[in-house]
Structure 1
Amino acid sequence: MASLEKSTLKVCITGAGGQISYSLLYMICDGKMFGKDQPVTLTLLEIPVVLDVVKGVILELEDCGLHLLKSAIATADPREAFDKVDVVLMVGAFPRKEGMERAELLQRNAGIFKDHGAIINDIAKKEVKVLVVGNPANTNCLIASTLAPSIAKKNFSCLTRLDHNRAVAQTAAKLGIPTCDVKKITIWGNHSNTQFPDLAHGEVNVGGVKKPALIALSDDAWANGEFITTVQTRGAAIIKARKLSSAMSAAQAICDHMRDWYFGTMDDNWVSMGVCSDGNPYGIPDGLIFSFPVRIKNGTWEFVPGLTFSDFARGKLDVTVKELMEEKSVAFEFLGVK
């Protein structure tokens, strides 16, 4: 007896003409994000001057002959893009230009994400899952979720999985083991240079023996120094070497984030997600989008409870909290939101 095809998932990608989306779109249509049996339709949002680029990408997707792709449209109209969508991947954002202060970047993006959040609130499905990638991702996500009060805050998240993947990869490389043998690494805080990549609760498998990551590494100077700065500044290192920002790895991280959000995490592991801090067990002020360790089941994330911190770690958390509070203040003042 033939199996019934799943209902088609409607997915919107903003910034669809950029290099991240160019890598991401194939992954979605090849089943790497939502599964090999999940058909999708795509609404690809871009500014008008980039629409022809997006139309060219659609032609390429058609030429790939990917059976999961039912249809794709390019549009510059957010209302068309967000109408009745199941998933929104907010990849696009106003880029930081030479000489631009961070406050100006925050204000430019506040207007964009205010408008998009309000439209998502009005016309997207109420169970929509929204992932914000465009920087400053945490605060952009906070703005969008604030302007979408009819959609649960738990349905909004921002991407810190790229930082998480970088931290796992650095740990694996240091120990000479596969990345699949590194678990329970955490990215805390902002997707910026103040983020705190944390090995304190990590677990590794070295030669068939499970150990706490810090014991296996036996190098506190590296764990509290080079490891943290390498993860924090990895994006800048890629730009310096490649003359372009991360694209392939960012697309992979988006795919990982959404796949886990849909299908769940393993019982013996967790992932890092930028999520609403309301009710968190770690004393982070409510009302921020903050990267935490989370476990996911049945499409819903929950904070990992019961983790402890050294004075060193708490100091790192305080720094990234301060930055996010300042970003929130600048953005909300510009929006006239309390």
Structure 2
Amino acid sequence: MAVKVCITGAAGQIAYSLIPSVAKGEVFGAKQPVIMTLLDIPPMMKVLEGVKMEMVDLALPLLQEVIVTDDPLVAFDNVDAAFLVGAMPRKEGMERKDLLAANVKIFQAQGDALEKKAKKDVKVLVVGNPANTNAAICSKNAKSISPANFSCLTRLDQNRAQAQIAEKLKVPVPTVKNVIIWGNHSSTQFPDSRFAIVEKGAEKVPITTVNKDPAFAEYLKTDFIKSVQQRGASVIKARGLSSAMSAANASVDHMRDWWQGTKDRWVSMGVFSNGEYGIPAGLMYSFPVTVANKKVTIVEGLDINDFAREKMDLTAKELKDEKAMADSALEQKK
């Protein structure tokens, strides 16, 4: 039986990189057929028809059907998984509260449509920024779908952090594991390298054992954190456009691990807090997690020192403020 998958903002750059990976079997399995629904706003329907033509021209054996629509009720009908990529981008001079108000409208409508049409065990990944708060809004409007079935993308930040450590240590990127992203997908996030390891065969070596130079330890507490926090802005400055290719790749990583499991690896996902590590319950917050049988479990029992506590609380405060602004916008819409 085919897995039915929806991608929103499907005429955009992230989706253009994401769609082939999903259609080729890189997310749901190398033998798993897929039906894909592509959702965007009415002015983008001509572009989406062109995207559909290209998908057909890929001649992929797993892609059974492509549905193009501007109606969320059609897009989310009976879907097993959804990548919510489309969101209102922040424009020059736009205050954060205005950005949140614009996205409340989008994600409230999509939450309503998921509530009415999607399977109750649908897995919903929010990519569009501000991703944490957009995911919370969407979940709030899909009351019969478990909050555990909503998450937001911080895997991009994890991939950035992992790659920068690997480059510094001159080791292959896949050998670096257990780098953590705490909190918001924003410049307040806390990229935490304290538990990171390098796998050397069967041996798991802490990164500060691989490189014992005090300058490396200092880098991990200073420039490394700033570099990961500001990487998106750096890409925009260099490229003139946002991180589309790497965001699509991270979305593939996130949903693949959610669907197929993480085994012994920790990955970073934005999920609803239940009070773990002193983070207020109900916040969509990035934690280290493992996944088995599509169930996400937060890694618990990690030592939180004063340095980490300060940074984790700072990003939690930003999320609380965002949530308050979003809730206010929701109330005004009633």
- Contact 2:158-2:181 at 8 Å conserved across structures: yes
1:106-185 equivalent positions in 2, closer than 5 A: 106-185=100-179
Residue among 267, 271, 285 paired with 2:267: 271
- 1:96 equivalent to 2:90? Answer yes
SS in 2 for 1:21: helix
Post-superposition CA distance 1:169-202 (Å, at most 9, x none): 0110010000111111100000000000001111
1:310 is matched with 305
2:34 is matched with 40
1:4 is matched with none
- Contact 1:264-1:295 at 8 Å conserved across structures: yes
- Contact 1:90-1:133 at 8 Å conserved across structures: yes
Shift of 1:217: 3.5
Residue among 264, 280, 300 paired with 1:285: 280
Shift of 1:247: 1.1
Tell me the TM-score normalised to structure 2 length.
0.96
- Aligned equivalents of 1:251 and 1:163: distance in 2? 12
Matched to 2:269, the amino acid is M
- Aligned equivalents of 1:174 and 1:209: distance in 2? 20
- Aligned equivalents of 1:169 and 1:205: distance in 2? 14
The gaps in structure 2 that reach 5 residues or longer are: none
Residue among 43, 46, 51 paired with 1:52: 46
- 1:319 equivalent to 2:319? Answer no
Matched to 2:102, the amino acid is R
1:3 is matched with none
RMSD of equivalent CA atoms = 1.4
- Contact 2:73-2:116 at 8 Å conserved across structures: no
- 1:333 equivalent to 2:325? Answer no
- Aligned equivalents of 1:217 and 1:98: distance in 2? 42
2:232 is matched with 235
- Aligned equivalents of 2:176 and 2:304: distance in 1? 20
Identical counterparts, % of pairs = 54
SS in 2 for 1:50: helix
Shift of 1:208: 7.6
Mean Cα displacement is larger for which, 328-337 or 141-150?
Answer: 328-337
- Contact 1:34-1:262 at 8 Å conserved across structures: yes
- Aligned equivalents of 1:77 and 1:249: distance in 2? 28
SS in 1 for 2:325: helix
- Aligned equivalents of 2:100 and 2:168: distance in 1? 36
- Aligned equivalents of 2:266 and 2:208: distance in 1? 17
Shift of 1:207: 8.6
- Aligned equivalents of 1:85 and 1:146: distance in 2? 19
Shift of 1:28: 0.6
1:289-304 equivalent positions in 2, closer than 5 A: 289-304=284-299
Judging changes above 3 Å, is the alpha-carbon distance between structure 1 residues 75 and 170 closer, same or farther for their aligned structure 2 residues? same
- Contact 2:263-2:292 at 8 Å conserved across structures: no
Residue among 252, 255, 268 paired with 2:252: 255
Number of residue-to-residue matches in the alignment: 330
Matched to 2:175, the amino acid is D
